[in-house]
Structure 1
Amino acid sequence: MSDSRYRSFSMKPVWLLITVLILGGCSFPNEEERLAGQGLPPTDFVASADSGRGLYQQYCSQCHGRQLQGVDLKGPPLLHDYYKPGHHSDLAFYRAIKFGTQAHHWQFGDMEPVPEVTPKDAAHIVAYVRKHQHRAGIQ
C-alpha cells in the first residue's frame, strides 16, 4: 500500500470524528421546541379553562374585555360569530398570541404579539375562550 493511500484511508476516521463532534455540538430542536416556535403547546398537553381564566384576565381582558365582550377603541369581542371555531380555529388564536395579527374584521388596529404568554398559557386561554363561546352558543 502506498503512503498516499494509507494517509487518505487513515484520515477518514478523523474527518468522521470531526463531523460527529460538530453535529453533536449542534442543538436540534425537539418536538416541543419546534411546536413552541410556532406558538403551539406540546401535542399531549391538556389545557384547562379554569387555568385560562386568570391568564385571560392578566393578558387579554384589557383589550378583549373582562367578560370577552370587547373594549371600545381597544379590541374586539371574542364572544362573536367571527371567532367561532369554524371561522377562527384554535391555531388562529395561537398565532395571534405568538406573532400578532393584522386587523381584518374590526377597526381596532393590529394586535401586537404577546411574548409573555407561553404556548401552554395560550392553550389555557384558548380553552377558557372556547368554554365561554360554547356557553354563549357560539360553536
Structure 2
Amino acid sequence: MNRRSLLIIAAVAILGFGGYYYFNQPADPDGGGAPLVNVSIPSLTQSQQVGAVAYAENCAACHGINAAGQEGVAPPLVHKIYEPSHHGDRAFFMAALNGVRAHHWPFGNMPPVEGVTQQDVASIVEYVRALQRANGIN
C-alpha cells in the first residue's frame, strides 16, 4: 500500500470515529435545548407521581422536563403525534426496550433505555398520558 492510500484510510477512520462520537453523545440534562412545547401540569395521582419520578430518572434527559421535548435533542411526548390512537401504550414499551428508528422527527434514532423495568415504563406511560390529557391530547 502506498502512502497516499494510508493517508486516505486514516482520514476516513478519523472522520468516522469523530462522527460516531459526535452523534452518540448523551443529552446534557442541565444544558439541553429549549422546551419545544408548553406543558400544563395537572394534579397527579399517587401512581402518576411515581411515573413522574421514573420519567425524570429515565426520560427527561432527552425528552425534557414534563415531556416538553428539547430543541436539538428529542421530541416532546406531549404532542398529538403521541396520542393513544396513533402511538398506543405498547409503543412506549417497545421504544424503551428496543429503541426507535427516527420517523416523525429529525432528532435521529432513539437508543434503548438501559435499566428501565416494565413497571417503570408502565408508570411513565401513566404519567405521560396524564400530561397529554391535561393538554388536550386524548
TM-score when normalising by structure 2: 0.65
Q: Percent identity?
A: 45
1:37-92: per-residue Cα shift (whole Å, max 9, x none)?
Answer: xxxxxxxxxx9211111110111111111021101111000111000000000000
Q: Which runs of 4+ in 1 moved over 2 A?
A: none
Query: Which entry has the higher C-alpha Rg, 1 or 2?
Result: 1
How far apart, CA to CA, are the structure 2 residues paired with 1:60 and 1:81? 19
Q: What are the equivalent positions in structure 2 for 1:1-139 lying under 5 Å apart?
A: 48-139=47-138
How far apart, CA to CA, are the structure 2 residues paired with 1:49 and 1:67? 12
1:67-121: per-residue Cα shift (whole Å, max 9, x none)?
Answer: 2110111100011100000000000010000110101100000000012100001
- Other structure's SS at 1:117 match: coil
- Residue identity opposite 1:113 in structure 2: P
1:3-37: per-residue Cα shift (whole Å, max 9, x none)?
Answer: xxxxxxxxxxxxxxxxxxxxxxxxxxxxxxxxxxx
Structure 1: runs of 5 or more not aligned: 1-46
- The aligned length equals 93
Structure 2: runs of 5 or more not aligned: 1-45
